[in-house]
Amino acid sequence: MKFAIATLGCKVNQYQSQLVREALVQGGAVEQDFSLPGADLYLVNTCTVTHRSDAEARKLIRRGAAFGSRLVVTGCMAGAYPREVRALSGSLEVVPFGNLPEALGVPLPGHITRFRGHSRAFVNVQHGCSNRCTFCIVPEARGGPRSRAMGEILREIECLHEAGFREIILTGINIGLYEGGAASLLQQIIEGSAMPRIRISSIEPWTVTTELVDLIAREGRICRHLHLPLQSGSDAVLSRMNRPYRAGYFRDLVLRLREEAPGMAIGSDVMVGFPGEGEGDFSETESLVEGLDLAYLHVFPYSKRPGTPAAGFEGVVGAGVARERARRMRELSKAKRSAFISSRIGREEEAVVTSAYGGGFTGLTSNYIKVEVAGEAPVHALVRIVLTQACEGHAKGRALE
């Protein structure tokens, strides 16, 4: 049996696709590229975070349907808008992720053992969210929070370590909701595994506790990198988004992290053009971000998701205005990125090798700087380097003996 998988969206989706891949391969199936005809099964793992993700999913679903083989659609778009997905092709099957074992006739393994196409492995620790931010369809698509059993997490990390991985990235829909909190999650992983580097991908600001800040500050195996979604620097907008913190809390948190863990990369998400976001609200976001030592931003214009409370809000921001605000924030992000990288030039860092080519390699530092280095080192290796030159969005470095 031949199969092909197309995956859209977040790290949780990438992880879940890997789980299905391993299940099918263990059952004797062979994977092929999604763009080629001839597979017996095409699986599309969808995302629905913006209308653009929906459009990409529709494109892949139509491509899969054109091959005339079995087509299974899973993931967030299939979960939130099953009727719309079904309408794309008469023969496709919409299957919630949890029902895939039954639909595919193979049990999902308890953990993954490798990560196709990645030099650093995602480890999913948590599913679902109960916060109900008014713009977000995820709780609809993925349900409430559930924590993965620690035994499974540790077994998975051990397998990935044995397979050669030296960095894992903890993923989840809202990992701060892990039972007992993120600090306890990390402490158990540190004590129960030998993985040299553990990265937290993204964590909601209101779930970052003092214990977590202290742990990051003192534990060298935790990467000096946090992605803290801000979304808006206007308290009025944050309140309409149902985000349970205010701009002042975010500012204090970033300042505390900077003080406790110097050199840490702090990235953020900013959403522009949320309904009711006036020029004054946007300026508040801009000046908050300008004044903080952030390493980069991911900027998203608001995308209306049918079925969310915000879809019915008044004060729709015109597409042109939202585009202009996004452009301004992206410029700011570029400046922040350059300033952060420049501030690290001359410093020693440890990089995990992400790709190697004749005479050189690319690595990623604990504080999320992509670095090009001359010399030989195998993928996955951890190499001590010194950063020598800032370039556009990355750095050059020299390996230390």
* Cβ atoms of residues 57 and 77 within 8 Å: yes
Q: What is the dihedral of CA 349, 185, 151, 114, to 10 degrees?
A: -40
For ligand SF4, which is the closer residue by CB, 177 or 352? 177
Helix (H, G, I), strand (E, B), or coil: what is residue 175? helix
Q: What is the DSSP letter of 58?
A: H
- Residue 204 as a binder of ligand SF4 (CB under 6 A): the answer is yes
Q: Does 174 contact ligand SF4 by CB under 6 A? A: yes
φ, ψ for residue 328 (rounded to 5)? -65, -40
Taking CB under 6 A as the rule, does residue 76 contact ligand SF4?
A: no
* Nearest distance, CB of residue 186 and ligand SF4, angstroms: 19
Work out the angle between the directed axes of helices 210-218 and 182-192 (0-180°, nearest 10): 30
Binding characters for ligand SF4, 130-159, by CB under 6 A (x = yes): -xxx--x-xx--------------------
Q: Looking at beta carbons only, is 299 or 369 nearer to ligand SF4?
A: 299
Identity of the residue, 266 or 373, whose beta carbon is nearer to ligand SF4 in the bound complex: 266
> In this structure, what are the phi and psi dihedrals at residue 109, rounded to the nearest 5 degrees?
-65, 160
Q: How far apart are the first and last CA of the chain?
A: 49
For ligand SF4, the binding residue among 19, 129, 238, 364 (CB under 6 A) is: 129
Q: Give yes or no for residue 124 binding ligand SF4 (CB under 6 A).
A: no
- Rounded distance, CA 160 to CA 157, Å? 5
Which strands, in side-by-side order, build the sheet including 30-31?
30-31, 2-7, 41-46, 70-75, 93-94
Which whole-number Å values give the CA distances from 163 to 6, 92, 154, 167, 354, in the listed order?
Answer: 24, 36, 14, 11, 15
Tokens of 284: 């508040």
Residue 291 beta carbon to ligand SF4: minimum distance, rounded to whole angstroms: 24
Residue whose CB is less far from ligand SF4, 67 or 206: 206
**What string marks each residue from 82 to 101 as x (binds ligand SF4 by CB under 6 A) or -?**
--------------------
Q: Quick one: which H or E segment has residue 12?
A: helix 11-26
* CB of 224 or CB of 240, closer to ligand SF4: 240
Instruction: Quote the least distance from Cβ 202 to ligand SF4, whole Å.
Output: 9
Nearer to ligand SF4, 131 or 367 (CB): 131
* CA-to-CA separations, 394 to 5, 170, 374, 384, in angstroms, rounded: 31, 23, 15, 17
CB of 242 to ligand SF4, least distance (A): 8
Q: Which is nearer to ligand SF4, 106 or 138 (CB)?
A: 138
Q: Closest distance between ligand SF4 and the C-beta of residue 310, in Å?
A: 11
Supply the minimum distance, in Å, between the C-beta of residue 302 and ligand SF4. Answer: 12
Nearest distance from C-beta of residue 45 to ligand SF4, angstroms: 17
Question: 192 vs 244, which CB is nearer to ligand SF4?
Answer: 244
Binding segment (CB under 6 A) for ligand SF4, from list 126-134, 211-219, 325-333, 354-362: 126-134
CB of 175 to ligand SF4, least distance (A): 10
Among 173, 208, 213, 292, binds ligand SF4 (CB under 6 A): 173
Number of residues that bind ligand SF4 (CB under 6 A): 10
Please give the structure tokens belonging to residue 85.
């997905």
The residue range among 129-137, 258-266, 292-300, 387-395 that interacts with ligand SF4, by the rule CB under 6 A, is: 129-137
- Residue carrying structure tokens 């952030």: 294
User: Minimal distance in Å, beta carbon 177 to ligand SF4?
Assistant: 8
CA dihedral of residues 293, 299, 303, 305 (deg, nearest 10): -60
- Which has the closest alpha carbon to 64: 30, 101, 34? 34
Q: What is the DSSP letter of 337?
A: H
Which residue, 144 or 220, is less far from ligand SF4 as judged by CB? 144
Write out the residues near ligand SF4 by the rule CB under 6 A.
Answer: 129, 131-133, 136, 138-139, 173-174, 204
